[in-house]
Amino acid sequence: MINKKEVVLEVKNLSIDIPVSQGILHPVDNINLHVERGEILCVVGESGCGKSLTSLAIMGLLPKNAQRTAETLELNKEDLQELTERQLADIRGNRMAMIFQEPMTSLNPSFTIENQLLEPLLRHKELSKDEARNQVIEMLELVGIKPAEPRLRQYPHQLSGGLRQRVMIAMSLLCNPDLIIADEPTTALDVTIQAQILELMMSLQEKFNTGILFITHDMGVVANIADRVAVMYAGQIVEEGPVSEIFDNPAHPYTRGLMGCIPVPGKLGQDNTLGTIPGMVPSVVNDFQSCRFGGRWDENYKENFEPCRLTEVPKKRRSFKVNLNEKHLVHFCCDECLHLSEHTLVEGSS
Amino acid sequence: MLAYTLKRVVVAFLILLVVSGLTFSLSHLSADPALTIAGEQASDEDIEAVRKLYGFDRPVIEQYVNWLSRALQGDFGKSYHYKAPVVEMISGRIGTTMTLGFLAIVFALVVSIPLGTLAAMRPNSLIDRFALLIAVFGQALPTFWFALMMIILFGVWFRWLPISGNTSWAHFVMPTIALGYYATPALMRLTRAGMIEVLSSDYIRTAKAKGLLPVSVLFKHALRNAIIPVVALAAVWFGFMLGGSIVIETIFNLKGIGWLSYDALLRSDLPVVQAIVLIFASFYVILTLLADLLNAYLDPRISVR
Ligand SMILES: Nc1ncnc2c1ncn2[C@@H]1O[C@H](COP(=O)(O)OP(=O)(O)OP(=O)(O)O)[C@@H](O)[C@H]1O
Ligand code: SF4
Ligand SMILES: [Mg+2]
C-alpha cells in the first residue's frame, strides 16, 4: 500500500424518505460510501434496492417528493448539502458527472449531438465555440467514435444504443470531473457492446484518474472492473470491501446469494441452471419490523443456513471486520446471519 | 425530407379535389340555382330558359368538370346576386379575414403557451387552477355569447372600443379576443400536458445533470419538445379561426369572407358559396401541410418515416 489516496466522494449515513399514501418509504437507509481518486467503486444489488436513488441523491437530482438526509455528503471535502441550487448547478456536469441507465432516452431527440455536447463546456468553461467544438471532437474520438465530425450533425435517433452511450460517456468526461456516477451504463446494451463500453470506461478512467461510482446488478461486471465493492440490499449496504476479498470470502448470506448468480463458462450446475435468489426485494414501506432478508434463503443453502427466525430486529446495525482484513466490512442487523457467516469476525467500526 | 414533402403535397391536392366535388354536388342538390337567378315571381318558362342558358340541365358531373376547369384558370364565375366576378368579391375581402384569423391565433398562443408552461411547472398550484378556470370558461362559453358580452361591456358601457366595422386596428381588438379565446383552452391544456410529460423525461434529467440552469432546461430542452404537438394543433386551429370567423365577422360586421359567405348562403348565391368553401378547405389543407412540415423540421424523427 502506497500513500493514502485522496477521497473524492464521502457519504455518511445517507437516508432517503419518500412519503406515500400507505406511509413513508425508506428506499435508502443510512448508507456509507466513499470513492477515492482513480478507483472504481461498484455498488451492486438487485433491482429496486435503491441504487439509482442513491446516485440521484448525490447529484442532488432526486424527485421532488423524495427527502434526503445525510451526516456527510462531500465532494472533494466540499459539503454538498451547504450549497445553493445555483452553486450545485455549477458543480454538476463539471466536477461530478453522471451517466444514466437508459442511453436511448437520455439524449434530447430535438437537438444534434454537437449541440448537446457543447453545452457542458460552454456552461462551465470559458471557451469559444470553436475551442469547445475541437474538444468535443477530440473527446468523441477518444470514446471510439471515429470519424467524429459527421456524427456532430446527427440526431440521437440516428445513433445506435452503444454509440449513444459512448456519447453520454464523452459528455460526462468533457469537463474532466473528479467523480463520475455511472448508473448501470451497460444494462440496456447487448453483451458484446457491453464489454466494449466497460473496457472503454476502464481505459478512460486510468487516463483521467477519475473516481467512478459504478452501479450495477451484475456480479460479472463487478468482477471485471471494480477495485472495491459495496453490496446493497433493501436500501442498506450489507457488505463492503476490496473486490478480491468479497469474491473470495463473501461473508453476508446475501452476497453469497449474488455470487451464485454469476454465469461462469463451463461451470453451470449439472441441471444447467444459473443460481437465482428466490423472491423479491421486500417493499420498503415503514420500518422493517422483522428480518429484511426473511424468507429469501436459497434452497441450496438451507442445509447450512437456517431460515431467519427473527420477528423483531434491533434498530442498530453492527459492523464486523472479516478475517481481520481492515477494509472488508459486513453489516448485520442481528446475530442470526452472524452465526451463519462461517468467518472469523471482529466487531469493528465503520 | 424532399420525398416526404412531395408525398404530402400530392395528398393535399387529392383532398381538395374531393372536397370541391362534394361541395359542388351537395350545393346543386340542395338548391335550384335556376330558381334563384330567375327570381321568385318568374314563370316556369322563364326558369326553364335560365336553366338551359346556364347549363343547369346538363348532368352534374359535366357541370362540375366545366366549373373545375374554369376554377383552375382562376375563374369562379359571377355572383348570381351581385353580378360581380366572384374572384374580385373574395380578393377584396380576404385580407380582413386573414388578419383576424392571424391575430386570433397569435393571441391564443401568446396566452396559452406561457400559462400552460407555468401550470406544468407547478401542477395543482394556484396558477394551475387559474389556468384551468380560464380553460373551462373558454370551452364552455359559446363564441357568440362571449362576443356579445364584450360588446355590451367594452363597446356600450365603457365605450372603449368600436363595435362594428373594420376601418381601424381598434376594430379588431374585440373580434380577435373573442375568436382567439375559443382556441386558448385546447392549446393551453396541450402545452401543459406536453410540458408535464417532457419535464419528467430522462433527457431533462440529463440536462440538469450537465449543470444547465433552469432557464435553459425549461426553455431550450423542455419547451422545444413540448411545443411540437402544440404547433400542429395551432395550425389546425388557425383553419378553424378562418372558418369560425363567419360568426364573429357577422357579429362585428367585419366584412371579410366569413361575412360574405353568410350573406351568400342567405341568398343561395352558389358560385360565391362554392368558391368560399374551396378556399376554406384549401386553408385547412395547406395549414395542415405546413404544420406537418414544421413538425418534421422541429422533430427530426418524423421525416424518416
Ligand atoms: N419517486 C418515487 N416515489 C416512490 N417510490 C420510489 C420513487 N423512486 C423510486 N422509488 C422506489 O424506491 C426503490 C428504489 O428505487 P431505485 O430506482 O433506486 O432502484 P434501483 O436499485 O436503481 O433499481 P434498478 O436496478 O431497477 O434500476 C424502488 O422500490 C422504487 O419503487
Ligand atoms: S442479520 Fe438478522 S435481520 Fe439481517 S438478514 Fe440476517 S437474520 Fe435477517
Ligand atoms: Mg436504477
Distance from CA of B210 to the nearest CA of A (A): 4
Task: Compare CB distances from B209 to A93, A109, A155 and report the shortest one's residue.
Answer: A93
Tell me how far apart the alpha carbons of residues B104 and B37 are, in angstroms, rounded to a whole number: 37
Q: Is residue A273 part of a domain?
A: yes
In the reported structure, the alpha carbon of residue A53 is separated from the centroid of ligand 1 by a whole-number distance in angstroms of 6
Whether B296 has a pLDDT exceeding 80, the answer reads no
Q: Is the minimum distance from the CB of A178 to ligand 2 under 6 angstroms?
A: no
Whether A178 has a pLDDT exceeding 70, the answer reads yes
> DSSP string covering chain B, please?
-HHHHHHHHHHHHHHHHHHHHHHHHHHHHHS-HHHHHH-TT--HHHHHHHHHHHTTTS-HHHHHHHHHHHHHTT---B-TTT-SBHHHHHHTTHHHHHHHHHHHHHHHHHHHHHHHHHHHHSTTSHHHHHHHHHHHHHHHS-HHHHHHHHIIIIIIIS--S--S--SSTHHHHHHHHHHHHHHHHHHHHHHHHHHHHHHTSHHHHHHHHTT--HHHIIIIIIHHHHHHHHHHHHHHHHHHHHHHHHHHHHHHT--SHHHHHHHHHHTT-HHHHHHHHHHHHHHHHHHHHHHHHHHHHHSTTGGG-
Claim to verify: residue B45 and residue B96 sit in the same structural domain: no
CB contact (8 A) between residue A107 and residue B301 = no
Claim to verify: residue B278 and residue B189 sit in the same structural domain: yes
CB contact (8 A) between residue B225 and residue A110 = yes
Q: Which residue has the higher pLDDT, A261 or A99?
A: A99
Q: State the ligand closest to the CA atom of A340.
A: 2
Claim to verify: residue B31 and residue B127 sit in the same structural domain: no
Please state, for a pLDDT cut of 90, what percent of chain B lies above it: 20
Q: Which is the closest atom of ligand 1 to the Cα of A284?
A: 29
Whether B13 has a pLDDT exceeding 60, the answer reads yes
Question: What value does the mean pLDDT take over residues A250-272?
Answer: 63
Q: Is residue B81 part of a domain?
A: no
Domain final residue pick, B72, B98, B115: B72
Claim to verify: residue B59 and residue B97 sit in the same structural domain: no
In the reported structure, the alpha carbon of residue A184 is separated from the centroid of ligand 3 by a whole-number distance in angstroms of 7
Q: Is residue A294 part of a domain?
A: yes
* B206 Cβ under 8 Å from any chain A Cβ: yes
Give the strands of the sheet with A345-348, arranged side by side.
A96-99, A179-183, A211-216, A40-44, A228-233, A236-242, A329-332, A318-322, A345-348
Structural domain of B133: 86-304
Please report the pLDDT score of residue B305 as a whole number: 45
* A122 Cβ under 8 Å from any chain B Cβ: no
Please report the pLDDT score of residue A11 as a whole number: 96
Claim to verify: residue B33 and residue B175 sit in the same structural domain: no
**What are B130-169's pLDDT values in tens digits?**
988 988 888 788 888 888 888 888 888 888 888 777 778 8
Q: Is residue B78 part of a domain?
A: no
Please report the pLDDT score of residue A268 as a whole number: 41
Whether A307 has a pLDDT exceeding 70, the answer reads no
**What are B49-96's pLDDT values in tens digits?**
877 777 777 787 888 888 888 888 888 888 888 888 988 888 888 888
Claim to verify: residue B66 and residue B135 sit in the same structural domain: no
Q: How many domains does chain A have?
A: 1
Claim to verify: residue B90 and residue B61 sit in the same structural domain: no
Claim to verify: residue B103 and residue B241 sit in the same structural domain: yes
**What are B100-121's pLDDT values in tens digits?**
999 999 999 999 999 999 999 8
**What are B183-236's pLDDT values in tens digits?**
899 999 999 999 999 999 999 999 999 999 999 999 899 998 998 889 888 888
Please count the other Cβ atoms lying within 10 Å of the Cβ belonging to residue A297.
21
Q: How many domains does chain B have?
A: 2
Question: What value does the mean pLDDT take over residues A176-197?
Answer: 89
Q: Which residue has the higher pLDDT, B251 or A306?
A: B251
3-state secondary structure of A258: helix
Question: What value does the mean pLDDT take over residues A86-96?
Answer: 95
C-beta separation of A155 from A163 below 8 A: no
Residue B46's contacts (CB-CB under 8 Å, 6 or more residues apart) are: B38
The least confident of A134-148, B119-133, B157-171 is B157-171
Please report the pLDDT score of residue B268 as a whole number: 81
Q: Is the minimum distance from the CB of A291 to ligand 2 under 6 angstroms?
A: yes
Q: Sort strands A78-79 and A72-75 into parallel, antiparallel or unpaired.
A: antiparallel
Please report the pLDDT score of residue B80 as a whole number: 82
What are the φ/ψ torsions at residue A238 (nearest 5 degrees)? -100, -25
Claim to verify: residue B258 and residue B115 sit in the same structural domain: yes
Q: Which is the closest atom of ligand 2 to the Cα of A252?
A: 6
* A119 Cβ under 8 Å from any chain B Cβ: yes
The CATH code of the domain that includes B107 is 1.10.3720.10
Query: Which single residue is written with the C-alpha cell 473528479?
Result: A178
Question: What value does the mean pLDDT take over residues A286-302?
Answer: 58
Please report the pLDDT score of residue B212 as a whole number: 96
* B301 Cβ under 8 Å from any chain A Cβ: yes
**Averaged pLDDT of chain A:** 84
Q: Is the minimum distance from the CB of A331 to ligand 1 under 6 angstroms?
A: no
Query: Which single residue is written with the C-alpha cell 395549414?
Result: B287
Q: Is residue A43 part of a domain?
A: no
Please report the pLDDT score of residue A273 as a whole number: 47
Claim to verify: residue B43 and residue B91 sit in the same structural domain: no
Claim to verify: residue B119 and residue B51 sit in the same structural domain: no
Claim to verify: residue B175 and residue B218 sit in the same structural domain: yes
Please report the pLDDT score of residue A179 as a whole number: 96
In the reported structure, the alpha carbon of residue A102 is separated from the centroid of ligand 3 by a whole-number distance in angstroms of 10
**What are A229-244's pLDDT values in tens digits?**
999 988 889 999 999 9
> Which residues in chain B have their CB less than 8 angstroms from residue A155's CB?
300-301
> Which residues in chain A have their CB less than 8 angstroms from residue B298's CB?
110
Tell me how far apart the alpha carbons of residues A286 and A158 are, in angstroms, rounded to a whole number: 45
Whether B128 has a pLDDT exceeding 80, the answer reads yes
Q: Which is the closest atom of ligand 2 to the Cα of A338?
A: 1
Q: State the ligand closest to the CA atom of A23.
A: 1
Structural domain of A300: 242-340
Q: Is residue A277 part of a domain?
A: yes
